[in-house]
Structure 1
């Protein structure tokens, strides 16, 4: 199978806990795809893969990590005019503990 023929930016997010919020800033409309390690490998090999996300028409885009795993974020230009400049900020998930008032 062919590898992706379009340009993309890859962010290796390492292991993340569920509830971690990703804030992705983009300079143009692009695809934003969050995938686990297995699906990222399939993406790189040009095989069918699963991901969260899709076309991002507004910036910033917020996504939430659904489960504990090693995550990869890809910003790509497939179907668009060019590769957007991008940046990712991660916000730790809430701890679930309430502060005493």
Structure 2
């Protein structure tokens, strides 16, 4: 099975709720890609895949999880000079606020 021909760091975020904020810190410009489990599988097989994110020129970068499910973050050097050192922090989704009922 072919593998991507560039270096990357993989973070398995497991199950995350919609609205959860993923904060990625980098020490250099790299690509940051948030993707579902099936898209991560396609990424590892060098097939077309979908993701949220792109080139991170500043750090940290924050990406919101669009829907509940199993998510992965990839930090990769495709198109850049080298693989950045990176870290990922999961920030809980804001609690659903209930509007008070008029009496």
Number of corresponding residues: 99
Q: Distance in 2 between matches of 1:74 and 1:11?
A: 6
- Structure 1: which 4+ aligned runs deviate by more than 3 Å? none
Unaligned runs of 5+ in 1: none
SS at match of 2:81: coil
Shift of 1:53: 0.3
Structure 1 residues 14-61: Cα deviation after superposition (integer angstroms, max 9, x where no partner): 000000001100000000000000000000000000000000000000
Partner of 1:2 in structure 2?
2
What TM-score do you get using the length of structure 1 for normalisation? 0.94
Look up the SS of the partner of 1:38 in the other structure.
helix
* 1:40-51 matches, cutoff 5 A: 40-51=40-51
Higher-Rg structure is 2
Residue in structure 1 matched with residue 68 of structure 2 by the alignment: 68
Aligned equivalents of 2:3, 2:46: Cα separation in 1:
4
Which consecutive unaligned segments of at least 5 residues does structure 2 have? 99-103
Alpha-carbon RMSD across the aligned residues, in angstroms, is 1.4
What's 1:96 paired with? 96
